[in-house]
Amino acid sequence: MGKVIVCRCEDVTLEDLRQAFAAGHRDLESLKRFTGLSTGFCQGKCCAAHAGRFLAELRGGDDMVCDPTRTRPLLHPTPAACFAAIASGEAPDQEDA
């Protein structure tokens, strides 16, 4: 059996997720921190839904408890030059939602 790549940016496989789950990482945030899932260039746009489904399956079909990982700006990789002119202290604060 070859690899089934879930996260193409960071080369995380289904098998990586299965092992991480067995090691006790039972929610997406924890799986992300352990495997690197969703931490690459696309920030989970290609893998979060797949990983959520797989996690629900590992948990026995339980959709309801599947939370997304914490979402932070920026939505897309953006050159620093786009923000360099915003003076420090002037940037908007993100309130904890």
Partner 1 sequence: MPARAGEPLAAALLAAGVQVFGRSLKYHRPRGPYCLQGHCSGCLMRVDGIPNVRTCQTAVRAGMVVERQRGWPSASFDAFRALDWLSGQGIDHHSMFTSSAATNRLAARFVRRLSGFGELPAGEPRPPAPVERWQRQVVVVGGGAAGLQAARELHRRGVRSTLFERQEVAGGRLLDGSDSAGGDGQGSWARLAELHRQLEGSENLELLPGTTVVAVYPGDRLQVVAVQERRTLVVEAERLLLACGDYEQVRLFEGSDLPGVFAVRAFDRLFYLHGVIPGEPVVLCGDSPRLLRLAGDLVAAGVEVAALVSGATRPPLPAGEGAFPLVPGRLPVRASGGRWIERLEIAPAPSEPADGLFDCGCLVSEYPPAPAYELAHHAGCRVDFDSACGFRVVVDDGGRTSNAAVFAAGHCTGAMSLEQALEAGRRAATGMAESLSGGSGRED
Q: Which residues bind partner 1 (CB under 8 A)?
A: 1-6, 8-11, 13-16, 19, 34, 40-43, 45-46, 48-50, 52-53, 56, 63-64, 66-68, 71-79, 81-86, 92-95, 97
DSSP state of 13: E
- Closer to partner 1 at the Cβ: 31 or 52? 52
DSSP state of 81: G
Q: Which residues contact 41 (CB under 8 A, 6 or more apart)?
A: 9, 77
- Closest by CA to 50, choosing from 38, 34, 36, 59, is 38
Point out which residues pair with 5 in neighbouring strands.
13
